[in-house]
Amino acid sequence: MSNVKIYEALNWASSFLKEHNREEFAGELLLRHLSGLSRTSMLAMMRDELAGEVWAQFQAAVQKHAAGEPIQYIIGSEEFYGRRFEVNKHVLIPRPETEELVYGTLKRLDKLFPAVDQVELVDVGTGSGAISITLKLEKPGLQVTAIDLSEDALEVARENASQLGAEVEFIHGDLLQPLILQGKKADVVISNPPYIPIADQEWMSDIVTDHEPHMALFAGEDGLDLYRRFMDELPLVLKDKALVGFEIGAGQGEAVAALLKNTFPKANVEIVFDINGKDRMVFAEII
């Protein structure tokens, strides 16, 4: 044993993280992960001593987070839509806002494609596979393809699909180029592309800028570079009746909606606000 009780370890972590301007509750998350205890069990065992090995691992993990490494990378996973997804430095950590993109997509699929079987859906810039895998598991009839420019990200996504039992086709490529080259068409294109303006790096948390992959975060001076590229490529791959769904940065709704309206003048384009009241998604229904 370590002679260090659970409550003492948590108090140390809380103080240490506070000194380094990190969230104090991170200590509890890390200790629960390393000890395998639920929150209820941990509260009941506050005066028990930690095993020496766990205490050493806990100190190292807290120091890593204090230095800026995201908790999710230390733990190796993040929850998304009620499922556990493996994550590492090669993929963006799935955010709660992206769950709203999935929810909004499912709602519109029901309306546009009531018989979901054989509907071909493409997730562009899949990262950990959170969007594509979730959509396939929620609507097993979908034919889901996921594209990413990073082979390392695709390795993570394939592992997540395998662990969660989702049949998704993963393709290495740049935006919609793999479909264009193969002459393939899609009913639905969903994407959470990089959308942060380069200049925003200056004020963003170092936990994000120093650790998460920049190619998944930043997109030119105004953050709209990838959406502009989509407007060139979408008309080449979408079927006559189609759905497009984008996650966007707060404040980008009108600009992205205008790009879609210019590209698809007859589409029903809608800006959707997230739970925090920020414009976070744009959907285009092309009928």
Q: Which pLDDT band holds residue 221 (cuts at 50, 70, 90)?
A: low
Q: Tens digit of pLDDT for each residue in 86-113?
A: 999 889 889 889 999 999 999 999 999 9
Number of compact structural domains in the chain: 2
Mean pLDDT of the chain, nearest integer:
89
Residues 145 and 254 in one domain: yes
Flag whether 86 is in a domain.
no
Residues 202 and 102 in one domain: yes
Residues 47 and 98 in one domain: no
What average pLDDT does the segment 25-39 reach? Answer: 91
Residues 14 and 120 in one domain: no
More confident residue, 194 or 210: 194
Flag whether 75 is in a domain.
no
| CA 135 vs CA 111, 120, 188: distances in Å | 15, 12, 11
Locate 149 and state its tokens. 């420019």
Flag whether 233 is in a domain.
yes
Locate 125 and state its tokens. 């810039």
Flag whether 112 is in a domain.
yes
Residues 188 and 57 in one domain: no
Question: Among 15-29, 62-76, 218-232, which stretch is predicted with the lowest mean pLDDT?
Answer: 218-232
Q: Whole-prediction pTM value?
A: 0.86
List, as one string, the DSSP characters of 97-157.
HHHHHHHHHHHHHHHH-SS-TT-EEEEES-TTSHHHHHHHHHSTTSEEEEEES-HHHHHHH
Residues 25 and 98 in one domain: no
Residues 140 and 232 in one domain: yes
Residues 259 and 135 in one domain: yes
- Domain range for residue 229? 91-286
Q: Which amino acid is at 59?
A: Q
Question: Among 65-79, 157-171, 208-222, which stretch is predicted with the lowest mean pLDDT?
Answer: 208-222
- Domain with residue 151: its CATH number is 3.40.50.150
Q: Tens digit of pLDDT for each residue in 167-176?
A: 999 999 999 9
Residues 47 and 122 in one domain: no
Flag whether 50 is in a domain.
yes
Residues 204 and 270 in one domain: yes
What average pLDDT does the segment 202-228 reach? Answer: 57
pLDDT at position 204? 44
Residues 95 and 166 in one domain: yes
CA 225/CA 61 separation, integer angstroms: 37
Flag whether 273 is in a domain.
yes
Residues 155 and 232 in one domain: yes
pLDDT at position 2? 66
